[in-house]
């Protein structure tokens, strides 16, 4: 067990609790920076593309985590903001705006539009807010069809390549560069997210999540703060949507459907509501399941000559995993990781009920 003796306020403010933690995260950074090297050596970048996809999902997950995990506002409509970001990016690039400007701009405009859409429904709570955003998500596909001049409608739209100072980056032509672009965005957003949580703005978000009445009594303007959270959340989702477009290469009205919105929400619940790590853990699970199923299928087919071709197996497995998490580990994967870590830190003094009290669900989960 490590005891940190705090001798200055910096000990509470700084990003890492102690030197060992900083070293671990530095090693993690080295690992993710060196990952492409491995795929470069084996000469097969297929899995790197999957990893990049996981990172993009994690960026969208962070956006939703801020809103649902930290502000307590559930949303089933985040695919809508991803769609906004994606199509804005396509159109800005099409209009000749350089990628370095078009990309952040599409996120910001998605944020502003998202906030404008969200303002009327922000007065709703819990399950009602979830329903309103669900409706928004169901309308998205229709709006994409209606806005055909900008979106290509049902036929879809091709996404131009990323161009940074003349360097063309295409997902298939330069998977390594594309990975680094996505990684940079992800790391930057994590840093922003951490800064937010250690300053008054982030604390006002969590205050609203835990008790709206006392947040107001402390001088927090509920509407403005919720709108702020929605803006940041939709911006992150918009950026993820733009990257998702680059990753997919071609988007149609069915790309950002309801299933994606639901997947995002389930992802952060599986990962662990209220933790930035949760967005990444959840994205990894969501990214691994299809690959694992495909591999398992071919393994069964080649070794035992058993062919499993059940339609909807992925969704069913995903739903099953989710039910298991809600029943047995409401704190998500990150919560499980915390418990394992505490077990070893305190060995042999860990007690089974140590996290019992904190098992109380976030207000997000309760039907208000």
Binding positions for another protein, rule: CB under 8 A? 9, 12-13, 192, 195-196, 198-204, 206-207, 209-211, 213-222, 228, 232, 274, 357-358, 360, 362
Please state, as a whole number, how many other Cβ atoms lie within 10 Å of the Cβ of residue 343: 14
| Residue 39 Cβ vs another protein, minimum distance, rounded to whole Å | 33
| Residue 114 Cβ vs another protein, minimum distance, rounded to whole Å | 15
| Residue 269 Cβ vs another protein, minimum distance, rounded to whole Å | 15
| Residue 180 Cβ vs another protein, minimum distance, rounded to whole Å | 22
| Residue 97 Cβ vs another protein, minimum distance, rounded to whole Å | 23
Whichever of 169 and 208 has its CB closer to another protein, that residue is: 208
Whichever of 35 and 201 has its CB closer to another protein, that residue is: 201
What letters, b where the CB count within 10 A reaches 16 and e where it falls short, cover 15-40? eeeeeeeeeeeeeeeeeeeebbeebe
- Burial-class residue 342 by CB neighbours within 10 Å (0-12, 13-18, 19+): middle
Whichever of 200 and 296 has its CB closer to another protein, that residue is: 200
Cβ-contact 212, 58 below 8 angstroms: no
| Residue 356 Cβ vs another protein, minimum distance, rounded to whole Å | 9
Whichever of 129 and 208 has its CB closer to another protein, that residue is: 208
Whichever of 215 and 251 has its CB closer to another protein, that residue is: 215
| Residue 253 Cβ vs another protein, minimum distance, rounded to whole Å | 33
Q: How far apart are CA 161 and CA 172, in angstroms?
A: 10
191, two tokens:
């840093």
Closest CA to 271 of 283, 261, 262, 289: 283
At residue 334, the 3 state secondary structure works out as helix
Whichever of 36 and 274 has its CB closer to another protein, that residue is: 274
What letters, b where the CB count within 10 A reaches 16 and e where it falls short, cover 282-298? bbbbbbebeeebeeebe
CB-based contacts of 110, cutoff 8 Å, min separation 6? 81, 84, 85, 88, 234, 235, 237, 238, 239, 241
Cβ-contact 225, 205 below 8 angstroms: yes
| Residue 218 Cβ vs another protein, minimum distance, rounded to whole Å | 5
The torsion angles phi and psi of 138, rounded to 5 degrees, stand at -70, -30
Cβ-contact 286, 276 below 8 angstroms: no
How far is residue 254 from each of residues 58, 151, 251, 259, 285, measured CA to CA in Å?
A: 21, 12, 8, 10, 23
Whichever of 72 and 175 has its CB closer to another protein, that residue is: 72
Whichever of 233 and 247 has its CB closer to another protein, that residue is: 233
| Residue 21 Cβ vs another protein, minimum distance, rounded to whole Å | 15
Whichever of 223 and 315 has its CB closer to another protein, that residue is: 223
Query: What are the beta bridge partners of residue 137?
Result: none
């Amino acid at each position: 067990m490590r005891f940190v003796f705090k001798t200055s306020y910096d000990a509470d403010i700084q990003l890492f609790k102690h030197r060992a933690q900083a070293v671990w995260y530095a090693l993690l950074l080295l690992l993710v920076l060196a990952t492409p090297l491995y795929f470069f050596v084996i000469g097969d970048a297929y899995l790197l593309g999957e990893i990049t996809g996981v990172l993009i999902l994690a960026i969208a997950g962070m956006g939703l985590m801020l809103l649902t995990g930290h502000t307590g506002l559930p949303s089933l409509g985040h695919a809508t903001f991803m769609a906004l970001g994606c199509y804005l990016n396509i159109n800005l690039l099409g209009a000749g705006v350089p990628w370095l400007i078009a990309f952040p701009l599409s996120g910001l405009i998605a944020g502003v539009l998202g906030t404008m859409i969200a303002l009327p429904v922000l007065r709703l709570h819990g399950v009602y807010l979830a329903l309103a955003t669900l409706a928004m998500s169901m309308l998205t596909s229709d709006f994409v069809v209606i806005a055909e001049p900008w979106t290509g409608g049902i036929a879809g739209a091709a996404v131009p390549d990323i161009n940074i100072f003349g360097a063309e980056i295409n997902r298939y032509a330069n998977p390594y560069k594309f990975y680094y672009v996505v990684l940079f965005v992800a790391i930057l957003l994590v840093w922003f997210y951490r800064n937010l949580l250690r300053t008054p703005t982030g604390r006002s978000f969590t205050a609203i999540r835990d008790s709206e009445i006392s947040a107001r009594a402390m001088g927090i303007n509920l509407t403005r703060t919720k709108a702020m959270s929605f803006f940041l959340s939709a911006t992150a989702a918009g950026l993820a949507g733009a990257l998702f477009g680059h990753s997919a290469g071609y988007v149609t009205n069915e790309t950002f459907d309801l299933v994606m919105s639901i997947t995002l929400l389930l992802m952060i619940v599986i990962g662990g509501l209220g933790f930035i790590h949760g967005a990444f853990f959840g994205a990894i699970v969501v990214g691994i399941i299809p690959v694992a199923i495909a591999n398992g299928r071919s393994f069964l087919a080649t070794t035992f000559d058993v062919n499993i071709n059940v339609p909807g197996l992925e969704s069913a497995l995903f739903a099953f995993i989710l039910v298991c998490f809600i029943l047995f580990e409401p704190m998500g994967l990150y919560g499980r990781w915390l418990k394992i870590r505490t077990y070893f830190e305190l060995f042999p003094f860990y007690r089974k009920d140590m996290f019992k009290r904190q098992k109380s669900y976030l207000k997000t989960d309760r039907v208000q």
